[in-house]
Structure 1
Amino acid sequence: MRIAVVNNFFPPRVGGSAHLASALAERFVRQGHEVVLLTAAYHDAPAEEVVRGYRVHRLPAFGMPQLGLSIDFDITFTTRPSNLRRVFRVLDEFRPDVIHQHGQFLDLSWLTGWYARKRGIPVLLSVHTRLESRNRAYSLLFRALDRFLVRPLIGLARPRFVIMDELAATYCAARYGAGEERFEHIPVAVDPEWCAQPPTRDVRAELGIGTGPLVVSLGHVIPLRDRTALVDAMPGVLAEHPDTKVLVVGHQYYDAYLRRAERLGVAHAFLSTGAVPRADVPSYLAAADVVAHDLQGIGCGTASLEAMAAGRATICAVRETNFPGVELRNWDNAVLVRPDHTEDLVTALNRLLADPEERRRIACRQRAVVLDGFTLDTVTRKHLDVFELMSASTPAGKH
């Protein structure tokens, strides 16, 4: 089978969807399929290269201007007539049986969606991020963008949707009018062996943390993962565990949590690394007693699943029904809190930090959850099964 993978985000750019697109493309090749990957140019990465058996095409792009707003993010755009021609040329030469798009509001999905409509190619669209905000003005803006821009553009190819959790299902139904008949329930994938590999750096020694309690919060700091919940919880945590440190690992696009920490008098408990190389992530996870990242009710993402795979007790603000077909049980194989709920988070952190044995028991069961349903092998097989069905249903001679 010939599979075209599409994502504006791709290494060397870091991020969950970038690394998932890369990992899946590699696994597709290992399974004997042909793959081409279309992405946006990023820094000094070559315009074309062969990566682990598949060809990567990086199209000329421009970055979103940084205006000092809380929605500033490192997004690159490719929409221009010359790139549309490039898309058609590359894909016509490759002749894909199916197109796998990552990200509904990224413009390479729109360009390849137009190609798919013209050529009659089936499309599978993975929804990694929902256009949502707790800020009323941004929320209204995002709803308008979804209704008047994203929905019409992704509708060109009438894709099937990869639904990674129950929140995505609700969102796609409400924003894009997609019903269950267009859903494929496939969770995000992680590599447990990579996550749990021996550390190559002694993070605690390098940062002067010592042996005290350490909460690691891994991932870019953006409004939907702003870390203010951790700040609000710290007075209650420090009252019982005064030596606790919180290590925030990721690029800071939004620094409201630092200002809040100063106001609450807990800034001394926070350390920030900025962006770190992907290869160093296992070392940061190995240093953690507890990991807390997804605390605002937007789901349990790649960073949290990687922490679980690494055998670290991980707190998330989701429900036990978050992953269809996966049974989460609070304080058994999961540690779940209500979104932005200070009392819940204080209780969970203090309980985990006070009882190393319970921490280890829960961490072991969380790793088992990942091994049972979130490995790259499992998720790759589910994608390929869907591709086969989609390709088989395409009328003969259509592409």
Structure 2
Amino acid sequence: MRIAVINNFYPPRPGGSAHLAQHLARAYAAAGHEVLVLTATYADAPLDEVSRGVRIVRVPAWTLPKTRFAANFDIGFTSSPKAKTRVFSLLDEFAPDVVHQHGQFFDLTWLSGWWARKRGVPTLLSIHTRLESPLSRFNSFVYATADRMLVVPMMRIHRPKVVVMDILMDRYIEKRYRRVISGKVAIPVGIDPEVLRGGSAEVAFRKLGFDDRPIILSIGHVIPQRSRIALVRALPKVLARVPDAAVVVIGGVYHDEFLQIAEQLGVRDAVFVLGAQPQTAIPDFLAAADVEVHELEGGGFGTASLEALAVGIPVVAAIEPDNFLDIVVEDGRELYITPPIDEANPKADPDALAEVLIGILQSPDAARSAVGANAMRLVDEHFAIEAVARRHLQVLADMAATRPVRSPASGS
């Protein structure tokens, strides 16, 4: 097959969807398929390159101003008349059998969907982000309006089949997009476990400037959906029982309220913020960590948490046991599920979170090792990129096989 992979986010731009798109593109190429990636320009990354059998073309982009409305995230958009011509030309030249898009609200998804509709090419869409705001009703209203006025009409054009990664996304898709998609397929997010294993704790401690303190690692950009507020509110109780514990946050800080709260609570000295780190540095910090925690808003379980599970690090998250739909996890078996504030509020209760963290940090090594072994087995069986790519490829092949035979459209 010829597969076009579309994502405004792609390495070296950091982010979970960027790395998943890269992993899948490489897996498609390794399986013998021709792969073209279209993404937005980023920093000094090459405009056109071939890496591991994948051609990557970066379309000139402009960056959305960093505001609280955009979660202070640097989102690159390519929208322009030249971009439309460029994208259509590249796709016409490549002539994909199927298009795999990432992100429902990016302009490259819209442009490739427009092209696919004109050319009769099926589209598979992986939705990584729910357009919701846990901290602002006004923002939630604006996001819902944008979903209804912009995203839904664009999806209606090419009616993609949608990849459902977890139970919360399934509910969101049913609520927002059910009438404008051609179907759903449940495939979890995938990672490459092997690149995460074998890190050096010594290297991480050297970068941190201290030796062998208990580390509560927190990986991922700090945004309202992953605010770290519950974590710092739990920290005074944790430090009372584990005085030398350190919270290490890796990721861009686009929402800094957690640091202000840490100052107010007098625990700021125990919080180490390293900013975004290259993917190659993550294994070292995982090797040094005693526990990983950042999914505390009741918003699911992302790539960073899976990466910690992959190396056997205990992970604490505010999720439901059936978060992965047909893959059920159990508290204390593969990971630790922290209780919510109450039934109506899925966010982690800081007091309950503190007790969970203390229990992990003070538990015998054998108990943590047992949970870690279960975690690694879970990832290897269900979330390793090879298994996830195989499921994607089967879906893509089925879609390509049902493509109607038609003459190429003329013009754009």
Task: Identify the residue that residue 124 of structure 1 maps to in structure 2.
Answer: 124
Shift of 1:357: 2.5
Shift of 1:70: 6.7
Task: Identify the residue that residue 344 of structure 2 maps to in structure 1.
Answer: none
Q: Distance in 2 between matches of 1:264 and 1:70?
A: 28
Task: Identify the residue that residue 354 of structure 1 maps to in structure 2.
Answer: 362
Shift of 1:69: 5.3
Asked whether the equivalents of residues 189 and 376 of structure 1 are also in contact (C-alpha less than 8 Å), the reply is yes
Residue 385 of structure 2 is aligned to residue 384 of structure 1: no
Asked whether the equivalents of residues 70 and 222 of structure 1 are also in contact (C-alpha less than 8 Å), the reply is no
Query: Structure 2 matches for 1:1-399, cutoff 5 A?
Result: 1-67=1-67, 71-134=71-134, 135-178=136-179, 182-199=183-200, 202-337=203-338, 338=340, 339-355=347-363, 356-397=365-406
Shift of 1:294: 1.0
Question: What 5-or-longer segments of structure 1 have no aligned partner?
Answer: none
Asked whether the equivalents of residues 203 and 284 of structure 2 are also in contact (C-alpha less than 8 Å), the reply is yes
User: What SS does structure 2 have at the residue aligned with 1:370?
Assistant: helix
Asked whether the equivalents of residues 190 and 384 of structure 2 are also in contact (C-alpha less than 8 Å), the reply is yes
User: Once structures 1 and 2 are overlaid, which stretch shifts more, 338-347 or 212-221?
Assistant: 338-347
Shift of 1:151: 1.1
Shift of 1:210: 2.0
Shift of 1:199: 2.3
Sort the Cα spacing of 1:185 and 1:69 in 2 relative to 1 into closer, same or farther, 3 A: closer
Q: Distance in 1 between matches of 2:387 and 2:26?
A: 14
Paired letter, 1:391: A
Asked whether the equivalents of residues 201 and 285 of structure 2 are also in contact (C-alpha less than 8 Å), the reply is no
Paired letter, 1:373: H
Paired letter, 2:144: R
Question: What 5-or-longer segments of structure 2 have no aligned partner?
Answer: 341-346
User: What SS does structure 1 have at the residue aligned with 2:264?
Assistant: helix
Q: Distance in 2 between matches of 1:67 and 1:190?
A: 30
User: What SS does structure 2 have at the residue aligned with 1:190?
Assistant: coil
Shift of 1:229: 1.0
Shift of 1:364: 1.4
Q: Distance in 2 between matches of 1:178 and 1:289?
A: 45
Q: Distance in 2 between matches of 1:200 and 1:88?
A: 47
Q: Distance in 1 between matches of 2:45 and 2:204?
A: 29
Shift of 1:213: 1.4
User: Once structures 1 and 2 are overlaid, which stretch shifts more, 338-347 or 154-163?
Assistant: 338-347
Asked whether the equivalents of residues 126 and 161 of structure 1 are also in contact (C-alpha less than 8 Å), the reply is yes
Asked whether the equivalents of residues 37 and 56 of structure 1 are also in contact (C-alpha less than 8 Å), the reply is yes
Sort the Cα spacing of 1:316 and 1:68 in 2 relative to 1 into closer, same or farther, 3 A: closer
CA offsets, 1:302-347, max 9 Å, x none?
0000000011001111100100221201111221123221122112
Asked whether the equivalents of residues 70 and 254 of structure 1 are also in contact (C-alpha less than 8 Å), the reply is no
Sort the Cα spacing of 1:15 and 1:252 in 2 relative to 1 into closer, same or farther, 3 A: same
User: Once structures 1 and 2 are overlaid, which stretch shifts more, 360-369 or 280-289?
Assistant: 360-369
Q: Distance in 2 between matches of 1:215 and 1:52?
A: 35
Paired letter, 1:260: I
Identity of aligned residues (%): 45
User: What SS does structure 2 have at the residue aligned with 1:358?
Assistant: helix
User: Once structures 1 and 2 are overlaid, which stretch shifts more, 196-205 or 246-255?
Assistant: 196-205
User: What SS does structure 2 have at the residue aligned with 1:359?
Assistant: helix
Paired letter, 1:6: I
CA offsets, 1:360-389, max 9 Å, x none?
211111111111100111011001100111
The count of corresponding residues between Structure 1 and Structure 2 is 399
Q: Distance in 1 between matches of 2:327 and 2:217?
A: 25
CA offsets, 1:60-90, max 9 Å, x none?
1100012465722110001111111111111
Asked whether the equivalents of residues 230 and 296 of structure 2 are also in contact (C-alpha less than 8 Å), the reply is yes
Shift of 1:397: 2.9
User: Once structures 1 and 2 are overlaid, which stretch shifts more, 331-340 or 234-243?
Assistant: 331-340
Shift of 1:180: 9.6
In the superposition, the TM-score normalised over structure 2's length comes to: 0.94
Q: Distance in 2 between matches of 1:5 and 1:398?
A: 23
Asked whether the equivalents of residues 250 and 273 of structure 1 are also in contact (C-alpha less than 8 Å), the reply is yes
User: What SS does structure 1 have at the residue aligned with 2:101?
Assistant: strand
Asked whether the equivalents of residues 160 and 181 of structure 2 are also in contact (C-alpha less than 8 Å), the reply is no
Asked whether the equivalents of residues 5 and 36 of structure 1 are also in contact (C-alpha less than 8 Å), the reply is yes
Sort the Cα spacing of 1:119 and 1:221 in 2 relative to 1 into closer, same or farther, 3 A: same
Q: Distance in 1 between matches of 2:9 and 2:112?
A: 15
User: What SS does structure 1 have at the residue aligned with 2:158?
Assistant: coil
Q: Distance in 2 between matches of 1:197 and 1:124?
A: 34
Q: Distance in 2 between matches of 1:38 and 1:155?
A: 22
Shift of 1:181: 6.8
Asked whether the equivalents of residues 162 and 181 of structure 2 are also in contact (C-alpha less than 8 Å), the reply is no
Q: Distance in 2 between matches of 1:84 and 1:77?
A: 12
Asked whether the equivalents of residues 203 and 283 of structure 1 are also in contact (C-alpha less than 8 Å), the reply is yes
Asked whether the equivalents of residues 201 and 287 of structure 2 are also in contact (C-alpha less than 8 Å), the reply is no
